[in-house]
Amino acid sequence: MKRGTLRTGLRAASAVAALSLLLAAGCSSSTATSGTTAASKKANLAITFLPKNLGNAYFDTSDKGGKKAIDELGGTYAEVGPAAAAPDAQVQYINTLTQQGVGGIDVSANDKAAICSALQDAMTAGVKVVTYDSDTNPECRNLFINQATADGIAKVEVDMIAKQIGDSGEVAILSASANATNQNAWIDLMKADLASSHPNIKLVDVVYGNDDDQTSFDKTAGLLSAHPNLKGIISPTTVGIAAAARYLSTSSAKGKVALTGLGTPNQMRQYVKDGTVTAFALWNPADLGYLAAYATAALIKGEITGKTGDTFTAGTLGKFTVGANSTVLLGDPYQFTKDNIDQFNF
Ligand code: RAM
């Protein structure tokens, strides 16, 4: 397993509890300090996280990891974001942050192109732009912090569903929003892997729950009624898999239609314990946010520019090197089952 993968998973429980207290104390407000003047030598470590949407447990955890790093660095953390994961919903937040003169923006993109010119304006104004979790086009950001390789994420999902359905039968994908860069990359690679290595598995549908719980729940019902022979659902989104598990857990399809994909242990625990789900995967979102914040600070301080071969230290996660296309890799995806799920609390 590569360095960084879930290494802080086991101590996440106490960290999350401590961070919750900090957040409750008001540290998550969206105020950002104004930019440094040209004369000031002090790095502007006002770094704001902009997730795909608010109210998603995955981003709650990733952004708390960002806050932990920014606290360690003596900077100012903030989080802002839209209620719905719509393609251009993040533009207004980016424009406001640019006007406020933040030092850095860490964004998980709902659309790789729709937020591009707003991010380019931010960079022109001196803001460092880091994508994490879901990338933009490369010219719209200084760095992308990748949770795991797209190949690795696609492969673990295909391997899990193949194992769960005996490598044969109809499957469907319940994704996030239709434009999400990360899910779309993973879906393309899953399709290729299914076609080349699993001739007896047929992908019959791809539907989009928009990372909205109710929409994802309804789309699960729709898949089951549209495909009576469905043997499995892959949901490469923590919102989708939790909603699908909730639907399946009380339906006659429980135990007959397999469900796997990417989920958080806390959202999936009850469905693993009640037999709705046998295995799913993820990385540690808190480590992802933590790494993104340290990378942003390294850019702001001028320690790195984002070119291949640049190195920086991300606090307790250790040293990282910028790879091709200004991308930094956290680690490998990790599988959760009933045998290990209780070791994790995020
Ligand atoms: C959801 C979001 C996020 C994705 C995870 C797996 O929380 O779509 O972008 O990385 O699922």
Q: Rounded to whole angstroms, how far apart are CA atoms 310 and 17?
A: 34
Give, for 282, the enclosing helix (H) or strand (E). strand 280-282
- Which residues lie across from 203 on neighbouring strands? 171
Q: Are 232 and 190 in contact (CB under 8 A)?
A: no
Average pLDDT, the chain: 91
Our answer on whether the CB atom of 28 is closer than 6 Å to any ligand 1 atom is no
Distance 93 CA to ligand 1 centre (A): 20
Q: Rounded to whole angstroms, how far apart are CA atoms 204 and 177?
A: 18
Closest alpha carbon to 48 in 27, 25, 32, 59: 32
Could you tell me which CATH class the domain 150-282 is placed in?
Answer: alpha beta
Report pLDDT digits (tens) over 239-274. Answer: 999 999 999 999 999 999 999 999 999 999 999 999
**Which ligand 1 atom is the nearest neighbour of the CA of 237?**
11
Report pLDDT digits (tens) over 114-163. Answer: 999 999 999 999 999 999 999 999 999 999 999 999 999 999 999 999 99
Report pLDDT digits (tens) over 25-82. Answer: 333 333 444 444 444 468 999 999 999 999 999 999 999 999 999 999 999 999 999 9
Burial (CB count <10 Å: 0-12, 13-18, 19+), residue 225: exposed
Domain boundaries, the chain: 46-148+285-331, 150-282
Q: Calculate Rg over the CA atoms of the chain.
A: 20
Report pLDDT digits (tens) over 328-342. Answer: 999 999 999 999 999
Our answer on whether the CB atom of 237 is closer than 6 Å to any ligand 1 atom is yes
Our answer on whether the CB atom of 62 is closer than 6 Å to any ligand 1 atom is no
Distance 283 CA to ligand 1 centre (A): 11
> What is the fold, at CATH topology level, of the domain defined by 46-148+285-331?
Rossmann fold (3.40.50)
Which one of 49, 52, 208, 235 would you pick to mutate in the ligand 1 pocket, going by the greatest count of ligand atoms within 8 A of its CB?
52
Q: Are 262 and 155 in contact (CB under 8 A)?
A: no
State residue 7's pLDDT score.
Answer: 52
Whole-model pTM over 0.75: yes
**Residue 227 in this model has a pLDDT that exceeds 90:** yes
- The residue whose CA has the least distance to atom 10 of ligand 1 is 133
Beta-carbon contacts of residue 187 (< 8 Å; ≥ 6 apart):
154, 173, 175, 206, 236
- Tell me if domain 46-148+285-331 and domain 150-282 are identical in fold: yes
Our answer on whether the CB atom of 216 is closer than 6 Å to any ligand 1 atom is no
